[in-house]
Amino acid sequence: MFFEGSEKKVEVLVHNEKFSLLTDISDEFWAELVHRCHAKILSSISNKQCKAFLLSESSLFVWDNYFLILTCGETNLVNSVEYFIEQLGVEKIKHLTYQRKNEYFAHAQPSCFGDDVKRLTQYLPGKAMRFGAMDSHHNFVFHQDNDFKASIDDKTYEIFAYQISEEASNHLTRQGLEANDIREFLRLEQLIPNFQIDDFVFKPYGYSVNAIFGKKYLTIHITPQADSSYVSFESNINLIELLPIILVVLQPSSFDLLSYNETEFKTLTDKNVPQSYVSQSLVQQKLSNGFLVNFANYILPTQQFTQATEFDVAGENHEL
């Protein structure tokens, strides 16, 4: 069974002079916003500065002046943006960024990035860039083109890990696996001590976790099935520094890093990416909204021949 783990992501910053997303917006609003893209809220946690919703397809985080939603599978995230604009008015939006990863099973998606951009620009003029080669892992980033300038302190980090080791995949697809087992396997206590945690184990496979501490957040989503395994991390804590632990746990054949406003990207990757990996793509771009975006794709070279992978000819789930 295949599942499209690759995410679409929207970050919306609002004018919050007389308005707070945390206190002026009801949970029902967020439930409907999530529903519009064909996902649903499973649970939530919160502190004074942040509310984190765990979704059937990824996560939604809400702070006082911005929210961040990531959705995977066959969701249509632009629907949620449209709902926000319909309900609150486009003038509430101070800045919007939309990001979309290349998919494993693009044929099964309800839209492509070009379609998404066409819809978004009906409301918000913007620019778009691609990070990474068309024939390899890449991310598209669309951002509203207005006078907004990001603060250099607004740093976020993403890791996308592909084809995790057989050992990791076997562990994460074990029957009867509980959230606690996975937390331990991922070494969450070491990665994010003191964070408040909300997680969910999907049937038959899959795991999502939201973690918050003050304004800090981390979310991890695991599609563990051998052959199309994918694990994504997104956080405003420095994930490049945590990479050595993450790579020991997952041992992926390939992974990507993406960061916003990490000016020390090269120094950090030189220090934290093991030499066994080689870089296929390295992209650095300053966007006109002030964000410095870095993207890198690493692969583990192989010398060993493996067997081909059987394709289930009679299968029902052929979204290739």
Chain contacts with a second copy (rule: CB under 8 A): 103-109, 111-115, 117-118, 121, 126-131, 133-137, 140-142, 162-163, 227-228, 230, 253-254, 266, 278-285, 293-295, 299, 301-311, 313-315, 317-320
Rounded least distance, CB 275 to a second copy, Å = 12
Cβ atoms of residues 130 and 139 within 8 Å: yes
CB 80 within 8 A of CB 123: no
What's the min distance (Å) between Cβ of 212 and a second copy?
Answer: 30
47 or 279: CB nearest a second copy: 279
Q: How far is the CB of 181 from a second copy (least distance, A)?
A: 26
- Longest pairwise C-alpha distance within the chain: 62
Question: Residues 6-24, buried b or exposed e (16+ Cβ, 10 A)?
Answer: bbbbbbbbbebeeeebbee
SS3 46: strand
Q: How far is the CB of 168 from a second copy (least distance, A)?
A: 15
Query: Nearest distance from residue 70's CB to a second copy, in Å?
Result: 19
Residue among 26 and 307 whose Cβ is closer to a second copy: 307
Amino acid identity of 35?
H
CB 113 within 8 A of CB 9: no
Look at the block and give the residue holding tokens 């002026």.
24
Q: Name the residue nearer to a second copy (CB basis): 80 or 229.
A: 229
Q: With respect to a second copy, which residue has the nearer C-beta, 106 or 152?
A: 106
Report d(CA 28, CA 267) in Å as an integer. Answer: 44
Closest approach of a second copy to the CB of residue 248, in Å: 21
Residue 178 · residue 238 · CB < 8 Å: no
Q: At closest approach, how far in Å is the CB of 14 from a second copy?
A: 23
- What single string gives the DSSP state of each residue in 239-278? HHHHHHHHHHHH--SEEEEEEES-TTHHHHHHHHS-TTSE
Q: Are 244 and 274 in contact (CB under 8 A)?
A: yes
Residue 88 or 129 with smaller CB distance to a second copy:
129
216, β-bridge pairs:
213
Q: What are phi and psi of 275, to 5 degrees?
A: -70, -15
In the complex with a second copy, the residue whose CB is nearer, 55 or 150, is 150
Closest CB to a second copy among residues 59, 139: 139
